[in-house]
Amino acid sequence: MTSMGETAVLDAERAEEIKLLANEAFKANKFSQAIELYGQAIELNGLNAVYWANRAFAHTKLEEYGSAVQDATKAIEIDPKYSKGYYRRGAAYLAMGKFKEALKDFQQVKRISPNDPDATKKLKECEKAVQKLRFEEAIAVHESEKRSIADAIDFRSIDVEPQYIGARIEGETVTLDFLKKMMDDFKNQKCLHKRYAYQIVLQTREMLRAMPSLVDITVSDGDHFTVCGDVHGQYFDLLNIFEINGFPSQENPYLFNGDFVDRGSFSLEVILTLFAFKCMCPSAIYLARGNHESKSMNKIYGFEGEVRSKLSDTFVELFAEVFCCLPLAHVINNKVFVVHGGLFSVDGVKLSQIREIDRFCEPPEEGLMCELLWSDPQPQLGRGPSKRGVGLSFGADVTKRFLQENNLDLVVRSHEVKDEGYEIEHDGKLITVFSAPNYCDQMGNKGAFIRFKAPELKPDIVTFSAVPHPDVKPMAYANNFLRMFS
């Protein structure tokens, strides 16, 4: 018979073996597998801080920053002198935009390893970011007193230089010919003149402002409708979707379900293309807000830096304003509820309540609007805390009740990378669709979109693989010190 002590030794040895397998999975970008294996190692030996810190890092890679913070905190509790615990937690806080909490953790790393040049560099960057944030908070104008930047822009008075050879909008109308030329210019990494960029963004703003927070879409019998998930600045994959499924038009309408920008380094090209189709034919394309159509995310994940680099500071403010006009959810033929994130922390939410949300603001930290943009499904019943640290996780029972109470058949949402580009959960009542293949050039996933044909609206899922793009890395314009962690 083995004694308690011997069992513990055997468990510890086995845990080490599993950790090595987890490390291999991590190196192969198989982060979910790595999380599962680190979990097994923790079950055998929960007092090894390294396993918790490693699992925290894997959670970070899957954007599960809430879980990463929890695991890193556990590593710190086990070994308060383990600098990597603070380091991992600091990185997760940074990714959530919680700069002040991150700063505390990096200060701790520096205390534990005063001679580590890397820690010193990251602490400096973090201090700079927090100073900048404090400065911005100090000079910020209250939302209610803000003047609209859009009202101050007169694109008609901007001259186009004779030597400009890019796409041109003649008069007020965005045509398919203009769009094709612009898309082709973007393909060759040429910029659109800012006069036309202003025209597209301002016209889109007018249309979006007039829409309700919950938009009803009607698809006539025999017609079809396509729903796409996150595109995340992967412009060349967006062109591939149009290649496979045709351009948006009255006969071939699309809904893009949020997260058009950030991470991928062609976010400006993506957003101008989607907005230009909206201008060309408003019923050809519907756009929903994602959690990345917000100032705090754009500051960290690249869109702000990209717009500043390719256009100007004024455009940064203008896009922030237009993103606040994006509707929050769509319902197709009173049957299919489409939203970026997911459902709610309370039962009994009616479609009429969603329709009444005052959405013209930055997304709040809690409440219906926040949950629409941030929540995720979970395999267990009921509700649980969010892996992301924002919103919540909800089970099949929550989905079923929401559908029954609102007389709907299906929830379609995006917001999470899936190996096959989609996943069907909650007894077939919920589909996740994600349209950025090989996400961030490293996840190896497929992309997908869903075609619905009326009247049955049976989801027909089409998957596709990533296509090559010019050698500009994801996050090329992202916040300086976030890049230091990726």
Q: Which residues are catalytic?
A: 292
Task: Determine if the peptide bond prior to 364 is cis (ω within 30°).
Answer: no
Amino acid at the residue 116: D
Neighbouring CB atoms inside 10 A of 335's CB total 17
What is the distance, to the nearest Å, from the Cα of residue 250 to the centroid of all Cα atoms in its chain? 28
Q: Which two tokens stand for residue 474?
A: 């994801």
| Nearest C-alpha neighbor of 61 from the set 88, 99, 98, 83 | 88
| Nearest C-alpha neighbor of 44 from the set 21, 61, 27, 67 | 21
CA 433/CA 461 separation, integer angstroms:
9
3-state secondary structure (DSSP) of residue 460: strand
Long-range contacts made by residues 391-398, C-beta under 8 angstroms, separation at least 24? Answer: 391/341, 391/342, 392/345, 394/342, 394/343, 394/344, 395/426, 396/425, 396/426, 396/427, 396/429, 396/430, 398/343, 398/344, 398/347
Helix (H) or strand (E) holding 383: strand 383-385
| Nearest C-alpha neighbor of 377 from the set 422, 336, 333, 332 | 422
Contacts of 263 (CB under 8 A, 6+ apart): 232, 233, 292, 301, 302, 439, 440, 474, 475, 478
CA 415/CA 393 separation, integer angstroms:
13
CA 478/CA 112 separation, integer angstroms:
29
